[in-house]
């Protein structure tokens, strides 16, 4: 049995397909608008980089510190039985929202929302049991904040310049928060940091046995061969790049090895492998190019430019 090349192994983990072209990726070429985010903008730039490999681990570590989010993961997530499936489901949402048409982004967000409908229960606090739901405003906000912080922070460490700077990324990605019903997502890096600090000040984040379980799993995800070695470097990088207060809450320490430099090597090799074939943004650009060359048909006399039902409330 021949070994899959690195690109195929990466794409199997990220997209569930060794070619990186499952139906939902090919659908990025379809649609009637350019989507929520501009080609070459802050969100496209950050999410196209391989620093996202570190960011995904970093986001999960931070998210785990909220006991409500942690309870949902512990009670409902299949990350232990199907870690690759859990990863590809998250990657699918990120890619569809980042590169898809508004219709595809909304449809994918609705798919995720349906999966979350059953995620509800209780968790213990010092004041007694507390109910939670995946649709709780505070939980949805925390997940959005942790994601934004992690992807921005990882790119600042291992990526290149961001068009418009950090504030542009936070401002643009706020649209994803609104899609997930975050009522007032942060619009600047300073606001993002302030909003996250407020959770610390209110003592809403904590480390318990469930957090230990997730951290241990993330430390030793069941990859094999060179992927296992590379992942160990990326996990160490995520820990090293965490803001100190989150690292201390998680009970983690930075490694003494030069993990920042080692991560640059891993990410460079990954980028070269992925760049040897089509990527998600290539399909999105096919849609953009098609839309640029499409000429709308002239309206017939008396024909309205507003589609039927466009003024109805959804």
How much is the pLDDT for 313? Answer: 39
**Cβ 32 vs Cβ 103: under 8 Å:** yes
How much is the pLDDT for 1? Answer: 33
- Cα separation, 228 vs 238, in Å, equals 15
Lowest mean pLDDT among 21-25, 85-89, 104-108, 153-157: 85-89
C-alpha pair distances (Å), 270 with each of 88, 230, 303: 17, 10, 53
Q: Is 142 left (phi over 0), alpha (psi -120 to 50) or beta?
A: alpha
Higher pLDDT, 15 or 262: 262
| pLDDT above 90 for 36 | yes
Q: Which residues of 260-282 are buried (b: 16+ CB within 10 A; e: fewer)?
A: eebbbebbeebeebbeeeebbbe
Q: Percent of the chain scored above 70 by pLDDT?
A: 87
How much is the pLDDT for 304? Answer: 41
Mapped onto helix, strand or coil, the DSSP state of residue 166 is helix
- Cα separation, 195 vs 191, in Å, equals 6
- Predicted confidence (pLDDT) per residue in 136-172, tens digit: 888 899 999 999 999 999 999 999 999 999 999 999 9
How much is the pLDDT for 78? Answer: 61
**Cβ 238 vs Cβ 62: under 8 Å:** no
Predicted model pTM: 0.86
Domain positions in the chain are 6-289
What is the Cα 157 distance to its own chain's centre? 17
């Amino acid at each position: 049995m021949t070994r899959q090349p690195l690109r195929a192994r990466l794409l199997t983990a990220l997209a569930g397909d060794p070619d990186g072209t499952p139906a939902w990726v090919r659908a990025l070429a379809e649609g009637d608008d350019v989507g929520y985010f501009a080609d070459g903008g802050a969100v496209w730039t950050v999410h196209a980089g391989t620093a996202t490999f570190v960011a995904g681990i970093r986001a999960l570590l931070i998210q785990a510190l909220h006991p409500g989010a942690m309870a949902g993961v512990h009670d409902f997530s299949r990350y232990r039985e199907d870690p690759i499936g859990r990863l590809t489901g998250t990657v699918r949402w990120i890619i569809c929202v980042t590169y898809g048409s508004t219709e595809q982004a909304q449809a994918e967000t609705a798919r995720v929302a349906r999966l979350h409908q059953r995620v509800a229960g209780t968790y213990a606090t010092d004041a007694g049991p507390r109910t939670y739901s995946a649709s709780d405003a505070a939980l949805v906000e925390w997940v959005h904040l942790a994601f934004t912080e992690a992807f921005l922070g990882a790119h600042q460490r291992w990526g290149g310049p961001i068009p418009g700077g950090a504030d542009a990324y936070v401002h643009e990605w706020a649209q994803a928060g609104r899609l997930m019903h975050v009522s007032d997502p942060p619009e600047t890096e300073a606001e993002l940091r302030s909003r996250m600090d407020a959770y610390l000040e209110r003592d809403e984040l904590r480390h318990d046995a469930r957090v230990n379980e997730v951290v241990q799993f993330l430390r030793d995800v069941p990859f094999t061969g060179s992927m296992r070695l590379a992942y160990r470097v990326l996990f160490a990088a995520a820990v090293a790049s965490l803001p100190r207060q989150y690292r201390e809450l998680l009970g983690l320490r930075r490694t003494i090895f030069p993990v920042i430099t080692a991560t640059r090597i891993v990410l460079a090799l990954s980028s070269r492998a992925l760049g040897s074939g089509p990527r998600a943004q290539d399909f999105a650009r096919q849609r953009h190019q098609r839309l640029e060359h499409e000429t709308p048909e002239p309206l017939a006399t008396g024909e309205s430019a507003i589609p039927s039902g466009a003024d109805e409330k959804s």
